[in-house]
Amino acid sequence: MANPWATLGVDLHLEPAGSSGLRRGLTDALRDAVRTGRLAPGTRLPSSRTLAADLGIARNTVAEAYADLVAEGWLTARQGSGTSVAERAVVPPADTAQPRRRDPGRPAYSLIPGTPDLAAFPRTEWLKAARRALATAPFDALGYGDPLGRPELRTALATYLARARGVRTTPDTVMITAGISHALRILGSVLRTRGVRTIAVESYGLAVHWDLLRTAGLATPALPYDELGTDTAGLGDGGAVLLTPAHQFPMGMPLHPDRRTAVVEWARRTGGLVLEDDYDGEFRYDRQPVGALQGLDPDRVVYLGTASKSLAPGLRLGWMVLPPSLVEEAAAAKGRIDTCGVLDQLTLAEFMVSGAYDRHVRSARLRYRRRRDALATAVAHRAPEVRVTGIAAGLHAVLRLPSGTEQSVIQAATWQGLALHGLSFHRHEQALAEPLDALVVGYGTPPESAWAGALEALCRVLP
């Protein structure tokens, strides 16, 4: 495990202390942080359970490191008060007479959007589901498999997506993928084979997705964007369009109802395809979730979903709901065998059927809503000139900055040890939208123990 204690708790950056084992390395790093004053006297440390979860190590390892430092007098522990830094004189190291800025290459906090709180992954319930799934899996499940994926997961997804997202499907039109990027590779190949040469995209989005489509030989012109969201009026005949209609990434607003209707009518009229990226459809806070665009026309809309936001991107599990006419072509483009891990597919199917997925999503929704509310409150109090938008759903917010300040804020964040994306990072090079100075803040990203520190670091750099 590389540098497992590189970042600790709410506001402490630790350097690894050699290769003498987890307990020794953690103990040495904590002792050095106290000795040099980076952990001030009286600072309360995270609980052993919280820190162990954040670092991905055993709780006993953290507890033993704490106990060693209590015995040495560096820390104090009181029943009911947790573990804190002992009151003692701070002796700075000889080579740090002049204050040094933090190395910008190693941020202590990240508010980069796109990742949920990985420390909150439901390990215990996932392990239970994995055991049940493996115990009951038929022998043929371990073979090469159907390119569409395991029928257990396709059935579970068809039921869940119909109930939770208004998707119209059967298991026969569901394909399991290794995430959205894998789905776009498959679809890019299908579109190119069909003679499509252009797929329109939004003015703001993910360059990695645009690049995948370009690699397939497709041009990716940008659609205009205004106060009603992406404007699809300029779509030509045929072709395809990639949209995030339920919660535009990164701007955060849903596609206007008139434009939802218009893009489906365009697809019917021209024979075009709409690729709907529903990347965070489970996380809506202020009103009933916006249903999937696919429900308006399953024959013209390809629905794309993923477990990356609801569970973890490392699972590499996503799905497509395909128009029936596209299933065979997509299967051929994916390959004639299943290329996604069957055990994880079976586990996710069991996780969904047992109700554990719904329980996890409900719990995560409450946790992220609290973070969103804390973000909005803190920004309103500390930086009243900054406007928080796009927060009705998802795991990120857009902070509108005074004109001309985006790059200076990003630079200030770097020296605060805070990783941030400006809105310009997500702007298409041919964007047909007025440039805006803003931050795209992934408030779902930090572990719970680091959230308060990340929010404080953010507020310090806001104008």
Contact 431, 33 (CB under 8 A): no
pLDDT, position 48: 82
Is the pLDDT assigned to residue 8 strictly greater than 60? no
Contact 330, 190 (CB under 8 A): yes
pLDDT, position 277: 97
Non-local (6+) Cβ contacts of 61 within 8 A are: 22, 23, 26, 52
Is the pLDDT assigned to residue 109 strictly greater than 70? yes
Is the pLDDT assigned to residue 450 strictly greater than 80? yes
> DSSP assignment of 192-260, as one string?
HHTT--BEEB-SBS-HHHHHHHHHTT-B-PBPBEETTEE--TT--SS-EEEE--SS-TTT--PPPHHHH
pLDDT, position 42: 82
Percentage of the chain exceeding pLDDT 70? 91
Question: Per residue in 126-158, pLDDT tens?
Answer: 999 999 999 999 999 999 999 999 999 999 999
> What is the overall mean pLDDT for the chain?
89
pLDDT, position 90: 53
Rounded Cα–Cα distance for residues 129 and 126 (Å): 5
Q: What average pLDDT score do residues 66-91 get?
A: 81
Residue 119 banded pLDDT, cuts 50, 70, 90: very high
pLDDT, position 98: 45
Q: How far apart are the first and last CA of the chain?
A: 39
pLDDT, position 10: 42
Fold of 358-461: Aspartate Aminotransferase, domain 1 (3.90.1150)
Is the pLDDT assigned to residue 233 strictly greater than 60? yes
User: What is the token pair recorded at 69?
Assistant: 């430092």
Backbone angles phi, psi at 440, to 5 degrees: -110, 105
Stretch among 40-54, 181-195, 340-354 having the lowest mean pLDDT: 40-54
Rounded Cα–Cα distance for residues 26 and 273 (Å): 54
pLDDT, position 36: 77
Task: Give me the architecture of the 7-100 domain, per CATH.
Answer: Orthogonal Bundle (1.10)
pTM of the predicted structure, to 2 decimals: 0.77
Is the pLDDT assigned to residue 288 strictly greater than 60? yes
pLDDT, position 89: 54
> DSSP assignment of 122-154, as one string?
-HHHHHHHHHHHHHH--GGGGSS--TT--HHHH
Residue 357's nearest CA partner among 285, 321, 392, 309 is 309
Most confidently modeled range among 9-13, 63-67, 71-75, 365-369:
365-369
Question: Per residue in 199-209, pLDDT tens?
Answer: 999 999 999 99
The more confidently predicted of residues 286 and 269 is: 269
Q: What average pLDDT score do residues 101-130 get?
A: 87
Residue 125's nearest CA partner among 446, 364, 320 is 364
Q: What average pLDDT score do residues 234-260 get?
A: 92
Q: What average pLDDT score do residues 296-308 get?
A: 97
Is the pLDDT assigned to residue 448 strictly greater than 70? yes
Under the phi-then-psi rule, with left for phi > 0, alpha for psi from -120 to 50, and beta for the rest, what region is 89? beta
Residue 78 banded pLDDT, cuts 50, 70, 90: confident
pLDDT, position 359: 96
Check residue 292 and report its DSSP letter.
Answer: P
Stretch among 73-82, 85-94, 109-118 having the lowest mean pLDDT: 85-94
For the segment(s) 123-355, the CATH number from 3.30.70.20, 3.40.640.10, 3.40.50.740, 3.40.50.2300 is 3.40.640.10
What is the three-class DSSP state of 34? helix
The more confidently predicted of residues 39 and 180 is: 180
Stretch among 49-53, 226-230, 269-273, 339-343 having the lowest mean pLDDT: 49-53
Burial class from Cβ neighbours inside 10 Å (0-12, 13-18, 19+) for residue 323 reads middle
Ordered by start, the domain boundaries in the chain are 7-100, 123-355, 358-461
Q: How far is CA 254 from the centre of its chain?
A: 18
Q: What average pLDDT score do residues 381-396 get?
A: 95
pLDDT, position 209: 96
Is the pLDDT assigned to residue 39 strictly greater than 90? no
Tokens 């390990």 locate to 123
Question: Per residue in 11-33, pLDDT tens?
Answer: 444 444 444 567 787 888 888 87
pLDDT, position 91: 53
Which sign does the torsion angle of CA 154, 159, 162, 163 carry? negative
Question: Per residue in 415-441, pLDDT tens?
Answer: 889 999 999 999 999 987 778 999 999
Q: What average pLDDT score do residues 271-298 get?
A: 91
